[in-house]
Amino acid sequence: MTVFADKRVLLIGAGGLSSPVAALLARAGIGYIEVVDQDRIEISNLHRQTLYQAADVGRSKSETAAFRIEREAKDVGHAATRSVAREMRVYPERVLELVHGFDLVVEGSDNYPTKFLVADACALSRVACVQAGAVRWVGWAFGSVPGSTCLRCVFEDVPEGPDRGCSVAGVIGPVVGVCLIGYFTYHAIQGDHGIFARDALQGEIARAQSTLDTLTSQREEMEKRAALIDPKQVDPDMLDERARAMLNVAKPDEVVIFTPKTAPAQAPAPAQ
């Protein structure tokens, strides 16, 4: 029996974002894991939905995920872990009932209305919530606990305009694996809520701004130094394309070795 055997986790969405989290929860020995998803497994999604195999195509995502979670838990010695499938869509009329009684909700759906609906329900029910999204080459992850910053504090409302989710715009498979949804889930289930506090978020923002300021300063200094270099004294073969563009250097027929403005005295030629 593990320290997490009495924990209850609700997993909303059983696709690419939730696949690594499902394995994490199973191996951690979570006592009860409920999986909510209404879709079927498609072969075009297997490159990012690592919880499934080719033989699973056409099967229920929630049922297959629940089966794999229990098997994964059993393989590492957590035979008491129980996972239940709920093949359903999340509706406003039932979302409060859905999240009630859980220690953590992990939301990895592929649309913003569901994300905001779950975020609001968790905030009202005072349930910790970890969420993530991914499309094309980018992804994001967000965690909140009772009394901390919520999803609406950051994004305010469902984005306007046409849906640009992964079903429309696509997503590169590895993106869903490097999102921090697993990191936030791990800390949330451990009760380490310090990383979700407003002060911690503000601290991270301040550190990010400080890093950006430092990088901007370094870039400005490099541009100043580049302006002092005589392009005629630069060996183009020693530069990459970006540096050539910055210095406006074209590759000449004859290579000229770089020498600084104040060149050191030339060493005497070796004796013949």
| Residues labelled catalytic | 166
Alpha carbon 4 to its chain centroid, in Å, reads: 24
Instruction: State how far the Cα of 251 lies from the Cα of 255, in Å rounded to an integer.
Output: 8
Cα dihedral value 218, 223, 229, 232, nearest 10: 130
Q: What token pair was written down for 177?
A: 């694996």
Helix (H, G, I), strand (E, B) or coil at 142: strand
Q: What 3-state DSSP class applies to 68?
A: helix
Bridge partner list, 11: 35, 106
Cα 9 to Cα 184: distance, rounded to the nearest angstrom: 13
Dist CA 200 CA 166 (whole Å): 31
| Cα distances (angstroms) measured from residue 132 to each of 18, 32, 98, 112 | 9, 21, 19, 10
What amino acid occupies position 50?
T
DSSP state of 154: H
Other CB atoms within 10 Å distance of the CB of residue 89? 11
